[in-house]
Structure 1
Amino acid sequence: MARTMGPVRLKKTSPTTVAVGAALCIFILYFLLGSSTSDFSASRKATAALHPLSPPTSPFRQSTSGGKPKPPPVMRYNLNNVTITGNPVENNENILVLTPMARFYQGYWDNLLQLTYPHELITLGFIIPKNREGNAAYAELDKQITKTQKFAPEKDRFKSIIILRQDFEPPLSSQDEAERHKMQNQMPRRAAMAKARNSLLFTTLGPATSWVLWLDADIIETPPTLIQDLAHHDRPLIVPNCFQRYYNGEKKKMDERPYDFNNWQDSPTAQKMASEMGADDILLEGYRDMPTYRTLMAYMEENGGDVHQEVPLDGVGGTALLVKADVHRDGAMFPPFSFYHLIETEGFAKMAKRLGWQATGLPNYKVYHYNE
């Protein structure tokens, strides 16, 4: 027997439900109609370069509203107008100061602030490892940057500051001086350092850059006129002599000693050693187990000697190294592999020389390294 049902009563829809449904329909229609346009995701948009050193890279996005927005500008850089001279202040030449930083030293920052080169022409670039020490260094660096860029007098503020975090783990767990200089740690340590330098260089070198000053984070004392003094020689690569102050127990007073042994002139002995090495082996300087008998600039210093005296070099260190930007633009970088049995800064000097750029040293012009 069929049963007859009474009238069905529909529950009244709330205004909130109607609003949500309408919004969902609009979203679906926008997605379907807009999927054929050239719009980009938020993550793609976020990668667009906004830094003044970089050309605008935000892609042209069509408008779905019928209007046509202005396309991004075409940037033109005439590198023939970028001067690189022995008078960089007079010619308003931009300096890029690059520092790989595993630890923060207050003396480094204080010395940087005392440089007399116009700060509005200086861009600072840092690369910091992703580990506990790197995090601590970043925190301290950030404090000093904020203090300088926000609260210091205008003349002390730098043109711009760029900080990178390494996308690879450092090979050494400790940055203590004794651990860093162990012979068995040199190949992995310096290969990692070369990668860090290259990442920093290729990210920050702008079309208006005239000079690149490589300055280690543990260089805490230089003449205030460091940039002008080095650039005055108008050499493609030039390095001062790096020393270290310490307390001499025998003399009962403060003294100084050579520190950077990577500034050298090659020797027949070293060349013979290299000829007998495997393809991936590297020569190291300053180790008793590997006597190269190279002529080291560290021992060329003459007390009271002419600070402008020049010597040609075959290898350089990176504690304080001024490079014409054209040397890097020509392709000279820091090999993280055995390059003619050299690596990192010494390999860079070799690569630059193969490109026609000669390295120069100043044995009587000194900068000072932190003493742990």
Structure 2
Amino acid sequence: MAISRPVRRNSTITYVLAAILCIFFLYFFFADSTSLPSLPFAPRQLYHTKQAAQNALSPPSLPFIKPTKLGPDEIAPPPPVVHYRMNNVTTSSTPIENRETILILTPLARFYDSYWENLCKLTYPHDLISLGFIIPKGREGNLATQQLQDRIQKTQHPSNKDRFASITILRQDTEPIIPQAEHDRHALVVQKERRAAMSRARNSLLFTTLGPTTSWVLWLDSDIVETPPSLLQDLASHNKPIIVPNCFQRYYNKEEEEWSTRPYDFNSWQDSPTAQGLAEQMGPDEILLEGYAEMATYRSLMAYMADTTADPRAEVDLDGVGGTALLVKAEVHRDGAMFPPFPFYHLIETEGFAKMASRLGWRSFGLPNYFVYHYNE
């Protein structure tokens, strides 16, 4: 049967309108991604990158560009509506190739030049690294802030092409209540109070700085002064939700008259029936601590699994983790895993974090033969 002319005309108009809508649809999804090459972040992750970076509401993990000063009669424009494509924020074993951003977070009570020098030697592209610090109130905190700012001023100078994407410094409104000398702060009697304070500091830093484009979070203590330059890509290459290297300390052995190494961080462990039995007998506000003779848990400590001749990529499952150099997929934190400042299954701070993450379905892993080194006081 022949088709009438009006019907053919309507079909043509329908096809034209459909084509226009299709073009508009494609432009809406892809135009912004292809027109924003000026910033180092993967453009697929967000719309309107330039506006996001220029506005005071920009997440701290994005580079912030100060806007030009307004005249006396000028009115500041309203903040832009910024859309983020969270599904495009990847965490993979090839983070450099995928331009994955890393947020390095450091609770800082004392500033060590060797910490900053080691940080600057990291070979992961610095334009993909954001830094965050939280510093306590008080004289020592003021000194650490000044020393940090002096180094930042040099590192972040416009003439330095290897500067970091952004740096955030938070100051706590309270002074540290725990002694900062290494021997005093590791005494058993102060651990619950000390680690609860550390948890609150870590959570404040995390919740303030974690941005929508962050792929990974590296918790790096301010007294970690030596790591492999490829630390970030080495840890991320395992593509694990939570992974921690073995933290050791270099020291001079007077008996053998030579430099040697010894384990430092005992918070990365595999649980034991003895520890579980102790927990069952504890009150609701009591916590288990590792590395103290007064509280023998007989857990398997990663610190004693080290073998300098074995494969540095060898992995072990962990039930507790230390925070000296801890790489976490940002989605683990976004899922709700934080550092409990209270007894959580009789665990607290980083060990409590591992337990909380496991309750959310995330496993923790350790690298017993891959080392970072702690400052020796």
Q: Bin the TM-score by the shorter chain.
A: 0.7 to 0.9
Deviations 1:198-249 (A, max 9, x none): 0000000000000000000000000000000000000000000000000011
- Residue of structure 1 equivalent to 2:286: 281
Deviations 1:17-74 (A, max 9, x none): xxxxxxxxxxxxxxxxxxxxxxxxxxxxxx9635554799xxxxxxxx9x99854321
Amino acid at match of 2:245: P
Q: 1:271 to 1:84 in 2, by over 3 A?
A: same
Alignment partners' CA distance in 1, 2:97 and 2:316: 27
Alignment partners' CA distance in 1, 2:292 and 2:175: 26
- Residue of structure 2 equivalent to 1:165: 171
- Residue of structure 2 equivalent to 1:317: 322
Matching residue within 221, 230, 234 for 2:226: 221
Does the Cα contact within 8 Å between 2:287 and 2:347 map onto a contact in 1? yes
| Count of aligned pairs between the two proteins | 315
- Residue of structure 1 equivalent to 2:28: none
- Residue of structure 1 equivalent to 2:57: 49
Does the Cα contact within 8 Å between 2:269 and 2:301 map onto a contact in 1? yes
Structure 1 residues 174-253: aligned runs within 5 Å: 174-253=179-258
The share of aligned pairs that are identical, in percent, is 66
Q: 1:274 to 1:146 in 2, by over 3 A?
A: same
SS in 1 for 2:350: helix
Alignment partners' CA distance in 2, 1:356 and 1:152: 45
Alignment partners' CA distance in 2, 1:316 and 1:169: 27
Matching residue within 114, 132, 153 for 2:139: 132
Does the Cα contact within 8 Å between 2:62 and 2:166 map onto a contact in 1? no
Q: 1:165 to 1:69 in 2, by over 3 A?
A: closer
Structure 1 residues 257-336: aligned runs within 5 Å: 257-336=262-341
Alignment partners' CA distance in 2, 1:152 and 1:239: 35
Alignment partners' CA distance in 1, 2:268 and 2:62: 33
Amino acid at match of 1:127: I
- Residue of structure 2 equivalent to 1:121: 128
Amino acid at match of 2:283: G
Structure 1 segments unaligned to the other structure (5+ residues): 1-46, 57-64
Deviations 1:165-195 (A, max 9, x none): 01333221x3100011000010110000000
Alignment partners' CA distance in 1, 2:107 and 2:206: 10
Structure 2 segments unaligned to the other structure (5+ residues): 1-54, 65-72
Alignment partners' CA distance in 2, 1:69 and 1:209: 29
- Residue of structure 2 equivalent to 1:105: 112
SS in 2 for 1:315: coil
Instruction: Tell me which structure has the larger Cα radius of gyration.
Output: 1
Does the Cα contact within 8 Å between 2:221 and 2:324 map onto a contact in 1? yes
Alignment partners' CA distance in 2, 1:341 and 1:314: 13
Alignment partners' CA distance in 2, 1:54 and 1:109: 21
Pairwise CA distance, 1:78: 1.6
Pairwise CA distance, 1:145: 0.2
Does the Cα contact within 8 Å between 1:49 and 1:55 map onto a contact in 2? no
Amino acid at match of 1:369: H
Deviations 1:125-154 (A, max 9, x none): 000000111111111101000011016620
Alignment partners' CA distance in 1, 2:81 and 2:223: 41
Matching residue within 142, 146, 156 for 1:149: 156
Amino acid at match of 1:150: H
